[in-house]
């Protein structure tokens, strides 16, 4: 699976071009290198241009995180697209989750950083197009009757997120065998889907 990180800068949509430039800087140089001035230079516009689109570097980071969550959701859905079985589809979004974290580690870290939590539901809102909405939809067949859906959703999300962070921080080796073991745990979450 390939996560698309780069698109061409189009000055007709300068805000999107600046966000893309920010993602490129984030992935190549790290969070500390991210600045409005650097984004402007990479996008080929004046250093004052970003001020018309973002409320400082915090606003730029928020916009980058928003774009990251859109790409994150798309990565999960792409992985699940060929699957028909509910359990296979759930495991597929988990594979998409892990692939995104591996292929865009700096973006992934920014998306889930504590500094981005001033509006906790801004990106993880429970709408159908959000990353959490995707998780909710794919977990729904496995929620036992009488169980609060967030119990199953949290188990799956925590499993994927924790494992992804372990990989990114070098706590566990990045190996297909561990992926298989972690994804096999998804098989044990929740009840069998309703027929």
| Structural domain spans, the chain | 11-186
- The token duo for 11 is 């000055």
pLDDT of residue 6: 44
Angle at 8 between CA 7 and CA 9, to 5 degrees: 120
Residue reference for tokens 């950083």: 113
Q: Over pLDDT 70: what percentage of the chain?
A: 83
pLDDT of residue 49: 84
User: Residue 55 — pLDDT band, cuts 50, 70, 90?
Assistant: confident
pLDDT averaged over every residue in the chain: 86
User: Residue 63 — pLDDT band, cuts 50, 70, 90?
Assistant: very high
What gap in Å lies between CA 191 and CA 180, rounded to an integer? 20
In this prediction, residues 78-102 reach a mean pLDDT of: 96
For the ranges 27-41, 111-125, 134-148, the lowest mean pLDDT is seen at 111-125
Fold of 11-186: Tetracycline Repressor; domain 2 (1.10.357)
Q: What is the pTM of this model?
A: 0.84
pLDDT of residue 48: 81
Per-residue pLDDT tens over the stretch 143-194: 998 989 999 999 999 999 999 999 999 999 999 999 999 999 988 886 555 5
- Residue 136, burial from CB neighbour count under 10 angstroms (0-12, 13-18, 19+): buried
């Amino acid at each position: 699976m390939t996560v698309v990180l780069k698109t061409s800068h189009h000055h007709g949509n300068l805000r999107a071009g600046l966000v893309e430039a920010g993602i490129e800087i984030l992935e190549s140089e790290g969070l500390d290198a991210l600045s409005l001035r650097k984004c402007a230079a990479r996008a080929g516009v004046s250093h004052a241009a970003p001020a018309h689109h973002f409320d400082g570097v915090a606003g730029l980071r928020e916009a980058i995180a928003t774009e990251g969550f859109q790409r994150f959701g798309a990565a999960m859905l792409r992985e699940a697209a060929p699957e028909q079985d509910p359990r296979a589809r759930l495991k597929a979004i988990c594979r998409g989750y892990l692939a995104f974290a591996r292929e865009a580690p700096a973006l992934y870290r920014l998306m889930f950083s504590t500094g981005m939590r001033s509006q906790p539901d801004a990106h993880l809102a429970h709408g159908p197009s959000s990353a959490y909405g995707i998780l909710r939809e794919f977990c729904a067949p496995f929620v036992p009757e009488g169980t609060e859906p967030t119990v199953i959703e949290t188990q799956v999300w925590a499993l994927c997120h924790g494992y992804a962070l372990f990989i990114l921080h070098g706590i566990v080796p990045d190996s297909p065998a561990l992926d298989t073991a972690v994804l096999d745990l998804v098989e044990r979450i929740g009840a069998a889907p309703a027929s």
